[in-house]
């Protein structure tokens, strides 16, 4: 298997007022085309940092990222990002938000009409066809996140990067979007890296779960392949012993091996936030 | 398509008259119509009472009635001046016609009418001056604000200068502006009056800062998420400014523009008074020097008109802001 995306010995150190802070050390990761990988770990361990390095929004201080045999040095639409808080331009409609991305990527390849059709197609894909002309403030949080996903998919990225895409949503909406995402992944075969705090979400969606150790000098502690057959059904899986074994392994990693003994100063995290399936308290992303 | 909507209070009045008004609308009429009218009425009464008790060397302080009289008198004078102007031109044309009949090779010389500007002429002059100064200031401040906001280094470099120049009174700029304009603008037959340029540049110098500062702040506070979106999409610098920065900064920019226009109007009146440049300020000053028994009444008319125009200018900016800015909540103040 040749990897589509490869992180080798990625390290990241931040210069802070109190000195150098080594957030990541020796992160190694190989992802095949079409794979769905999730990153899970305690808050502040460095998940967003890994994702931002892959996106090119941050430059690793050590090691490097290779996508399609080419080194990643800057952000680009072939590594589309779905941000945690949707990040839609509030002055544009859903359609225009996606259109901006499409125009930027397909300006030279598609005609105006083809581009419009492609925008509409992607909005239909996330079931937002009926609200294309609404602005972000006129639609709900879940709908905004759908538009954000449509925008990312419309770029036809080699890798889709998602930073806690459903973190800010209620449980029902989240389940809905997870199902949509699974369907889209099955249909398009997009390669996905998703950060999550939610153990159930990770097991349900992923082919592999990367469990990160706590920082500083965080790295990928364990990798859990999830071999449950697709398509997966959340209700059927509730009684599936294989599903529970996976869940158990992730929970054991998070709460036994990587238990947070001393919370980082100034950021007290209630440890069992992942257990309940609700999200950790919101905090600014790195 | 432009849709016309009634102002809230008018719509509420209409419903009230049709007997359709619920308690909420009655509240709205009360708040938006009845209370303001009561406030104005009370003010007029107080003013009337106070005016009767103030004696000045020019006679009694003008009350509302005097001011109303003077308003009508000023309007009358304006009409008469206009008639004189029309009459002057008619006479001139008639003269040219008769003279051409006698002497066909004569080159007619037409003269402009040179009567003293009326109160309404002065209003027009002031409005044109304030708008020119404001537009020039905006044309400088908005691009500068964007550039300064985009570059942290430039921001740090320019900020102290802005902070120092911002609080400078127009009266301090005026002599400098006057001297520079006379030195630089030396054509014998000036196409634009120097006095106009002096007022305009003074206005520009004073109302530059709120727009500049607010635009810069608006640009610096563009959400980092949107900047990341721009980076992922690889928008070039121009597209980045057009698609991300400008729309983000627009609400702040308009806050600055509104402040600037307010400053511009205040500064203009002061500058006109000090420099005797044509406009409402000069009208006030002339009446003050004139010192007739009507002067105080006329000055009071000018004061009210200045206030009213300032208010209308602000409303105008607000309407423009509502029309242009996506963030409607920012324009609701
Ligand atoms: N720009 C920065 N400067 C200094 N330190 C940073 C910076 N960005 C992140 N960090 C630190 O690096 C560590 C990892 O941050 P990161 O945001 O990647 O965590 P995370 O796993 O995404 O957390 P969460 O789940 O809460 O989003 C944290 O300790 C954070 O304080
Ligand atoms: Mg994060």
Q: Whose CA is nearest to atom 16 of ligand 1?
A: A46
What distance in Å separates residue A236's CA from the closest CA in chain B?
38
Rg (CA), chain B: 26
Report the pLDDT value the prediction gives residue A285, as an integer from 0 to 100. 42
Summary mean pLDDT of chain B: 88
B332 interfaces chain A, CB cutoff of 8 Å: no
pLDDT band at B291 (very low <50, low <70, confident <90, very high): confident
Q: Say yes or no: CB of residue A83 within 6 Å of ligand 1.
A: no
B7 — pLDDT class (breaks 50, 70, 90): low
* Domain residue ranges in chain A: 5-80+157-276, 86-156
| Ligand 1 pocket, residue A145 CB under 6 Å | no
Length of chain A: 286
Predicted pLDDT of residue A198: 92
pLDDT for res B126:
95
**Mean pLDDT across the stretch B96-107?**
87
Q: Which residues contact B312 (CB under 8 A, 6 or more apart)?
A: none
- Dihedral in degrees, nearest 10, Cα atoms B13, B14, B19, B25: -50
Arithmetic mean of pLDDT, B122-129? 94
CB-CB under 8 Å, B234 with A104? yes
| H helical segments located in chain B | 8-17, 23-29, 35-52, 64-102, 119-150, 152-165, 170-184, 194-220, 224-232, 237-239, 246-275, 280-290, 295-324
Q: Which of A74, A75, A90 sits opposite B326 (nearest CB)?
A: A90
Average the pLDDT over each of A162-171, B8-17, B87-96 and give the range with the smallest value: B8-17
Per run of 10 residues, the mean pLDDT along chain A (length 286 residues) is: 88 93 93 95 92 95 92 93 90 95 93 95 91 92 92 93 89 89 91 94 95 90 92 91 94 86 52 42 43
Which protein residues have their CB within 5 A of the ion that is ligand 2? A 48, 285
Residue having the nearest C-alpha atom to atom 29 of ligand 1: A44
Whether residue B150 is predicted with pLDDT greater than 50 in this model: the reply is: yes
Nearest Cα residue to B269 out of B118, B78, B130, B62: B130
Q: Determine if ligand 1 sits within 6 Å of the CB of residue A283.
A: yes
**Which residues of chain B are within 8 Å of residue A75 when distances are taken between CB atoms?**
228, 231-232, 234
| Residue B111 contacts A, CB cutoff 8 Å | no
Flag if B228 and A89 touch (Cβ within 8 Å). Answer: no
Show residues of chain B in contact with A77, CB under 8 Å: 232-234
- Considering only CB atoms, which residues of chain A are within 8 Å of chain B? 55-57, 74-77, 79-81, 83, 85, 87, 89-91, 100-101, 104-105, 135, 155
The nearest alpha carbon in chain B to A78 belongs to B232
Chain B nearest C-alpha distance from A144 (Å)? 14
Q: Which of residues 223-252 of B touch A (CB under 8 A)?
A: 223, 225-226, 228-229, 231-235, 243-244, 247, 250
Measured in angstroms, how far is the CA atom of residue A128 from the centroid of ligand 2?
27
CA B88 to CA B239: how far, in whole Å?
A: 58
Ligand 1 atom 23: the closest Cα is on which residue?
A44
**Domains of chain B, start order:** 121-328 (1.10.3720.10)
| Closest residue CA from atom 14 of ligand 1 | A46
Rounded to two decimals, the pTM is 0.81
Architecture of domain A5-80+157-276: 3-Layer(aba) Sandwich (3.40)
In this structure, of A211-225, A248-262, B17-31, B188-202, the range with the lowest mean pLDDT score is B17-31
Ligand number, closest to the Cα atom of A45 = 1
In 3D, which of A132, A234, A119 has the Cα closest to residue A176? A234
For B283-293, what is the mean pLDDT? Answer: 88
For residues A232 and A173, what is the distance between their CA atoms, to the nearest angstrom?
18
Q: How far, in Å, are A10, B8, B12, B89, B243 from residue B29 at the CA level?
A: 66, 9, 6, 51, 41
Task: Print burial letters for B248-277: b (CB count within 10 Å at least 16), e (below 16).
Answer: bbbbbbbbbbbbbbbbbbbbbbbbbbbbeb
């Amino acid at each position: 298997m040749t990897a589509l995306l490869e992180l080798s010995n990625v390290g990241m150190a931040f210069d802070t007022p109190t000195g150098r802070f080594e957030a990541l050390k020796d992160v190694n990761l190989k992802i095949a085309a079409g794979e769905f990988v999730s990153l899970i770990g305690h808050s502040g361990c460095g998940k967003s940092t890994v994702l931002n390095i892959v996106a090119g929004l941050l430059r690793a201080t050590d090691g490097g990222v290779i996508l399609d045999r080419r080194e990643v040095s800057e952000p680009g639409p072939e590594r589309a990002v779905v941000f945690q808080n949707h990040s839609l331009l509030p002055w544009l409609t859903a359609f225009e938000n996606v259109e901006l991305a499409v125009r930027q990527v397909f300006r030279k390849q598609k005609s105006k009409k083809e581009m419009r059709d492609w925008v509409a197609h992607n909005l239909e894909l996330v079931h937002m066809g009926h609200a294309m002309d609404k602005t972000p403030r006129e639609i709900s949080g879940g709908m905004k996140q759908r538009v954000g996903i449509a925008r990312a998919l419309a770029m036809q990225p080699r890798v889709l990067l998602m930073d806690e895409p459903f973190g800010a949503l209620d449980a029902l909406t989240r389940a809905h979007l997870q199902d949509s995402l699974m369907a889209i992944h099955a249909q398009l075969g997009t390669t996905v890296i998703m950060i999550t705090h939610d153990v159930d979400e990770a097991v349900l969606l992923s082919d592999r779960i990367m469990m990160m150790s706590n920082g500083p000098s965080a790295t990928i502690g364990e990798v859990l392949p999830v071999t449950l057959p697709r398509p997966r059904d959340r209700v059927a899986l509730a009684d599936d012993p294989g599903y529970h074994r996976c869940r158990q392994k992730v929970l054991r990693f998070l709460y036994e091996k990587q238990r947070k003994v001393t919370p980082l100063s100034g950021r007290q995290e209630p440890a069992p936030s992942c257990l309940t399936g609700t999200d950790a308290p919101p905090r600014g992303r790195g | 398509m432009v849709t016309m909507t009634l102002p809230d209070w008018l719509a509420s009045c209409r419903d009230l008259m049709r007997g359709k008004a619920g308690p909420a609308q009655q509240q709205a009429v009360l708040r938006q119509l009845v209370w303001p009218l009561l406030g104005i009425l009370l003010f007029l009464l107080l003013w009337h009472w106070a005016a009767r008790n103030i004696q000045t060397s020019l006679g009694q302080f003008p009350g509302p009635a005097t001011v109303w009289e003077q308003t009508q008198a000023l309007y009358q004078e304006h009409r008469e001046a206009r008639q004189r102007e029309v009459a002057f031109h008619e006479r001139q044309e008639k003269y040219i016609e008769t003279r051409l009949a006698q002497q066909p090779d004569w080159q007619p010389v037409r003269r402009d009418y040179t009567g003293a500007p009326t109160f309404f002429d002065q209003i027009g002059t002031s409005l044109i001056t304030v708008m020119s100064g404001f537009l020039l200031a905006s044309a400088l401040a908005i691009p500068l604000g964007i550039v300064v906001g985009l570059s942290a280094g430039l921001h740090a470099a320019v900020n102290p200068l802005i902070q120092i120049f911002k609080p400078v009174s127009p009266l301090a700029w005026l002599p400098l502006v006057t001297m520079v304009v006379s030195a630089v603008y030396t054509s014998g037959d000036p196409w634009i009056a120097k006095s106009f340029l002096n007022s305009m540049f003074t206005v520009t110098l004073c109302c530059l800062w709120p727009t500049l500062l607010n635009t810069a702040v608006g640009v610096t506070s563009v959400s980092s998420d949107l900047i990341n979106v721009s980076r992922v999409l690889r928008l070039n610098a121009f597209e980045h400014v057009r698609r991300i920065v400008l729309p983000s900064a627009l609400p702040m920019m308009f806050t600055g523009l509104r402040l600037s226009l307010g400053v511009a109007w205040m500064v203009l009146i002061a500058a006109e008074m000090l420099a005797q440049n044509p406009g409402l300020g000069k009208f006030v000053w002339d009446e003050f020097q004139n010192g007739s028994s009507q002067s105080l009444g006329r000055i009071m008319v000018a004061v009210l008109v200045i206030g009213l125009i300032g208010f209308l200018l602000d409303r105008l900016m607000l309407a423009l802001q509502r029309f242009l800015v996506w963030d409607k909540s920012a324009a609701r103040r």
